[in-house]
């Protein structure tokens, strides 16, 4: 099949920019001359998948190889799935619009168990058999998967050919090198050869047997040269490849900013947390490495915000000097910095104050439990006083709100622990009048390789009773996760291969986007379990024994099961385990780097003063730029267009003027918004500058930085006191191409320019502003039913 043409029906879907591609910095390699084709698949919508750092890293690494291309595909929203199904079209990649079936490898990122139905649905939409056993013909791609959920791969074992366990930077390169050598073999031989690569798990090469009570008896390889245990990959973060050209999205995404991973892993040991174990050992990027990478990222992207990525940013050893140097360097460029995953201590509050000296929107803390007794059990070393003092320091510094995250149904929890949440929140409300406090609760879910992996989830009715108690007694707004959804998450987090049939039945029942409340269908899920003759409570509500063979027992995550069991017993006795940087607990992980975490540099005395003196220079020049918006750029909304111009101007090093106030914005004034799907060759934007620039220089530099479909046509200098474009423009002229029949005489504002068969070319002059009339709405009045709009283009803006 050739490339799929979606232009004819993209306007039928809610957000066509999800599927239009041509984002700035996206990579388009020649299909015919590139040897290996990889589709990187994320089982959720574009806005979530485009925010995933792992996918960005893999995209960069694979496309850096001359013999391989990587293209992206995200789970289409239900409206796009309907549009494709109606036309019998398969799911396609963004870059080349090729069907996924034509790729050599499809690689799924697994971040969340409740995305599994989307994985299967994406294969189904691609016209690819769901089960690995039905894809043994060489005409089908290899389907691989990785990510945190791969540490218990068994629920997806029937559907995935290969799992990559652990860090992917080196593993994907070694996989591709070996795949290139064996791709001429039959599929079974390919799998056997690839299974010898460290970190690669091929489910089809292992037998799983069961005891009469349905627990697992053993998991054994079918062949002697297939490893009995699959050892995870660990990457040296300092030397790991990292993308220096982030793709700039064509619509707003969840994390629409530069992401800089400063640290991987965690030095803490929260017993409910999977990430703290599977990402051991904790590793860092040096300060100089971070600075060099960030400089290239900001130069090639124009991002105005940087988020430091890690499980606990305040544990990064050089965080204060790093921020000091970055704030000083990028203050004039108005680059802001955000620090997720801060701890409830004064150290973190000082960090938060440092990076948000002007606009203090909100702080987020995760005490997880309402009493110190339960926090000791879960090994969360935060006291009530720590939390109260941290929030108090933030309150005095001007922070407007606080979010608190708790879990309910934790191991060995009592009613007193639930009441402790209420007491703590009431105490905070009484101490800090006017503080906007929000509380979020989620049911505990046991995960593979967490200390609590053996522990059960409480039955839904018990969890619901605790939630209802909090809702009744808390003096603040309460948000909670859907109980039934958390139950299913617990089922698949500790599930075995038998759940594969449940997944297949659920997809057949229409389950997809289960993590979205509006699409979660618990009735369809219960039907899937009933049809499969499987009790979901066996996986979620049962305490597993020490000697039991766990579904993930053949995966080596580095942390020993002996350590995890010992720590689990300590939890029962309310004993804590010290953080890794304080004392080694002999968890079994090799290549620890704890020495680098044992010294955190202090805050220089001048640093807090540095970020307080932000200068806003006055505008000295105003340039009016005319530009066109055509091709796939027509699917970019007006708001996204404003962001796009801001980043292009930043990349072009054009000295923009900024507004005053708490949240400075570049001083740009656009003409009237153009509807999504309309093209234009007459758009205008006024840009105010703090320094005089030669007009030709500015236009040349800006033109170089524009994404495909947006072309700078010309520019002119206008007086600084010129009225805004929105106040000056009151009409527009449009050209339309329509397939259809006119109902009669045209109104005075429209005229036929050309008529050829059923195709009619019109021109309309319509008002903008308060009396705005859209040309597509006019078509509904002057054409007979069944007409089709082929093109609407704005060709002129009319001034008052």
Which residues, 6+ apart, have CB-to-CB distance to 752 below 8 Å? 742, 746, 760, 761, 762
614 pLDDT above the threshold of 80: no
Query: Which of 229-238, 449-458, 585-594 bottoms out in mean pLDDT, i.e. has the lowest?
Result: 585-594
- Lay out the sheet containing 436-443: strands in order across: 363-368, 401-408, 436-443, 477-480
Q: Give 369-383 pLDDT, tens digit per residue.
A: 999 999 999 999 999
358 pLDDT above the threshold of 50: no
401 pLDDT above the threshold of 90: no
pLDDT of residue 137: 92
Contact indicator for 628, 683 with CB cutoff of 8 Å: yes
The single residue listed with the structure tokens 């973060």 is: 237
Percent of the chain with pLDDT over 90: 83
790 pLDDT above the threshold of 80: yes
Contact indicator for 127, 92 with CB cutoff of 8 Å: no
Q: Give 8-25 pLDDT, tens digit per residue.
A: 899 999 999 999 888 999
602 pLDDT above the threshold of 60: no
**CA-to-CA distance for 292 and 262, rounded, in angstroms?**
12
pLDDT of residue 400: 78
292 pLDDT above the threshold of 50: yes
pLDDT of residue 339: 82
Say whether 453 sits in a helix, a strand or coil.
coil
Instruction: Please state, rounded to an integer, the average pLDDT across all residues of the chain.
Output: 93
202 pLDDT above the threshold of 90: yes
Tell me the mean pLDDT in the region 729-756: 93
Q: Give 40-73 pLDDT, tens digit per residue.
A: 999 999 999 999 999 999 999 999 999 999 999 9
Q: Given pLDDT bands bounded at 50, 70 and 90, which one contains residue 396? A: confident
pLDDT of residue 1: 57
Percent of the chain with pLDDT over 70: 96
pLDDT of residue 611: 46
pLDDT of residue 610: 44
77 pLDDT above the threshold of 60: yes
Across 489-507, b (16+ Cβ under 10 Å) vs e yields bbbbbbbbbbbbbbbbbbb
**CA-to-CA distance for 382 and 589, rounded, in angstroms?**
25
Tell me the mean pLDDT in the region 496-519: 97
pLDDT of residue 605: 47
Tell me the mean pLDDT in the region 576-600: 82
788 pLDDT above the threshold of 70: yes
Contact indicator for 108, 486 with CB cutoff of 8 Å: no
Q: Give 167-184 pLDDT, tens digit per residue.
A: 999 999 999 999 999 999
323 pLDDT above the threshold of 70: yes
144 pLDDT above the threshold of 60: yes
Contact indicator for 691, 621 with CB cutoff of 8 Å: yes
Say whether 537 sits in a helix, a strand or coil.
helix
pLDDT of residue 600: 56
* Integer CA distances (angstroms), 462 to 378, 413, 465, 511, in order: 20, 12, 5, 26
End-to-end CA distance of the chain: 52
pLDDT of residue 236: 94
The single residue listed with the structure tokens 């024994």 is: 545
C-alpha 572, offset from chain centre: 36
Which residues are registered as beta bridge partners of 406?
368, 441
Contact indicator for 408, 466 with CB cutoff of 8 Å: yes
The single residue listed with the structure tokens 């990349």 is: 651
∠ CA 60-179-241, nearest 5°, is 25
Q: Which pair of structure tokens corresponds to residue 759?
A: 């195709």
**CA-to-CA distance for 601 and 321, rounded, in angstroms?**
7
Nearest to 490 by CA among 450, 424, 443, 560: 443
Query: Which of 189-193, 599-603, 642-646, 657-661 bottoms out in mean pLDDT, i.e. has the lowest?
Result: 599-603
Q: Given pLDDT bands bounded at 50, 70 and 90, which one contains residue 606? A: very low
- DSSP conformation letters of 458-492: PPHHHHHHHHHHHHHH-SSEEEE--HHHHHHHHHH
**CA-to-CA distance for 118 and 120, rounded, in angstroms?**
5
Using a cut of 0.85, tell me whether the model's pTM lies above it.
Answer: yes
Burial level of 624, CB count in 10 A (0-12/13-18/19+)?
middle
- SS3 string, 530-552, reads HHHCCCCHHHHCCCCCCCCECCC
Contact indicator for 659, 260 with CB cutoff of 8 Å: no
Pairing status of strand 729-739 against strand 679-689:
unpaired
The single residue listed with the structure tokens 């959804």 is: 485
Query: Which of 126-135, 215-224, 739-748 bottoms out in mean pLDDT, i.e. has the lowest?
Result: 739-748
Contact indicator for 251, 640 with CB cutoff of 8 Å: yes
612 pLDDT above the threshold of 60: no
- DSSP conformation letters of 628-666: EE-GGGGGS-HHHHHHHHHHHHHHTT--B-B--SSS--B
Q: Give 654-694 pLDDT, tens digit per residue.
A: 999 998 876 788 999 999 999 999 999 999 999 999 999 99
More confident residue, 617 or 799: 799
């Amino acid at each position: 099949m050739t490339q799929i043409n979606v232009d004819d029906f993209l306007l039928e879907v809610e957000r066509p920019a999800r599927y239009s591609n041509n984002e700035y910095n996206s990579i388009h390699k020649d299909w015919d001359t590139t040897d290996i084709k990889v589709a990187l698949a994320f089982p959720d919508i574009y806005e979530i998948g485009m925010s995933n750092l792992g996918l960005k890293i893999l995209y960069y690494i694979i496309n850096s190889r001359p013999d391989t291309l990587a293209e992206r595909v995200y789970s289409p929203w239900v409206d796009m799935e309907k549009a494709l199904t109606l036309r019998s079209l398969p799911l396609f990649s963004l870059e080349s619009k090729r069907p996924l079936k034509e790729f050599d490898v499809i690689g799924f990122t697994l971040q969340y168990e409740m995305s599994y139905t989307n994985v299967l649905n994406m294969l189904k939409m691609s016209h690819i058999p769901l089960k690995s056993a039905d894809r043994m013909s060489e005409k089908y791609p290899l389907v691989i998967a990785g990510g945190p959920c791969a540490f218990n791969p068994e629920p997806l074992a029937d559907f995935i050919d290969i799992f990559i366990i652990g860090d992917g930077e080196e593993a994907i390169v070694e996989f591709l090198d070996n795949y290139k050598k064996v791709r001429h073999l039959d599929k079974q031989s390919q799998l056997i050869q690839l299974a010898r690569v460290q970190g690669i798990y091929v489910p089809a090469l292992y037998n799983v047997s069961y005891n009469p009570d349905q627990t697992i008896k053993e998991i054994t390889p079918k062949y002697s040269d297939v490893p009995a245990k699959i050892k995870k990959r660990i990457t040296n973060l300092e030397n790991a490849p990292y993308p220096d050209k982030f793709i700039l999205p064509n619509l707003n995404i969840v994390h629409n900013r530069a992401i800089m991973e400063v640290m991987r892993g965690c030095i803490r040991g929260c017993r409910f947390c999977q990430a703290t174990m599977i990402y051991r050992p904790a590793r860092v990027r040096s300060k100089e490495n971070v600075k060099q990478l960030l400089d290239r990222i900001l130069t090639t992207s124009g991002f105005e915000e940087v988020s430091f990525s890690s499980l606990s940013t305040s544990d990064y050893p050089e965080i204060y000097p790093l921020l000091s140097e970055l704030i000083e360097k990028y203050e004039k460029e108005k680059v802001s910095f955000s620090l997720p995953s801060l701890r409830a201590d004064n150290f973190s509050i000082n960090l938060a104050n440092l990076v948000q000296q002007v606009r203090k929107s909100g702080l987020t803390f995760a005490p997880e439990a309402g009493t110190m007794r339960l926090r000791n059990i879960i090994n969360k070393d935060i006291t009530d006083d720590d939390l109260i003092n941290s929030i108090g320091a933030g309150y005095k510094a001007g922070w407007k709100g606080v979010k608190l995250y708790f879990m309910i149904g934790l191991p060995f929890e009592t009613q007193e622990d639930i009441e402790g949440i209420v007491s703590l929140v009431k105490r905070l409300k009484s101490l800090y009048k006017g503080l906007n406090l929000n509380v979020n609760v989620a049911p505990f879910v046991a995960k593979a390789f967490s200390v609590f992996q053996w522990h059960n989830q409480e039955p839904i009715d018990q969890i619901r009773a605790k939630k209802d108690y909090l809702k009744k007694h808390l003096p603040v707004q309460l948000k909670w996760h859907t109980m039934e959804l958390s139950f299913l998450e617990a089922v698949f987090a500790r599930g075995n291969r038998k759940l594969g049939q449940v997944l297949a039945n659920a997809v057949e029942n229409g389950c997809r986007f289960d993590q979205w409340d509006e699409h979660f269908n618990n009735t369809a899920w219960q039907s899937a379990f009933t049809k499969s003759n499987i009790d979901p409570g066996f996986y979620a509500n049962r305490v597993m024994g020490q000697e039991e063979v766990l579904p993930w027992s053949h995966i080596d995550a580095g942390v020993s099961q002996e350590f995890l069991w010992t720590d689990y017993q300590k939890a029962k006795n309310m004993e804590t385990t010290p953080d890794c940087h304080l004392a080694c607990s002999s968890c079994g992980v090799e290549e620890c780097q704890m020495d680098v975490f044992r010294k955190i540099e202090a805050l220089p005395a001048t640093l807090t003063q540095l970020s307080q003196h932000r200068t806003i220079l006055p505008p000295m020049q105003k340039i009016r730029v005319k530009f066109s918006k055509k091709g796939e750029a027509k699917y970019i909304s007006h708001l996204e267009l404003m962001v796009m111009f801001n980043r292009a101007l930043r990349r072009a090093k054009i000295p923009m003027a900024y507004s005053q106030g708490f949240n400075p914005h570049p001083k740009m004034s656009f003409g009237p918004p153009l509807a999504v799907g309309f093209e234009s060759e007459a758009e205008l934007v006024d840009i105010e500058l703090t320094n005089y620039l030669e007009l030709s220089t500015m236009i040349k530099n800006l033109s170089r930085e524009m994404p495909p479909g947006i072309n700078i046509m010309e520019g002119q200098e206008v007086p600084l006191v010129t009225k805004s474009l929105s106040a000056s423009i009151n009409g527009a002229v449009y050209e339309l191409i329509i397939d259809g029949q006119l109902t009669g005489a045209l109104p005075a504002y429209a005229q036929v320019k050309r008529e050829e068969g059923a195709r009619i070319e019109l021109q309309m002059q319509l008002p903008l502003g308060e009396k705005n009339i859209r040309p597509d709405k006019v078509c509904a009045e002057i054409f007979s039913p069944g007409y089709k709009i082929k093109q609407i283009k704005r060709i002129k803006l009319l001034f008052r």
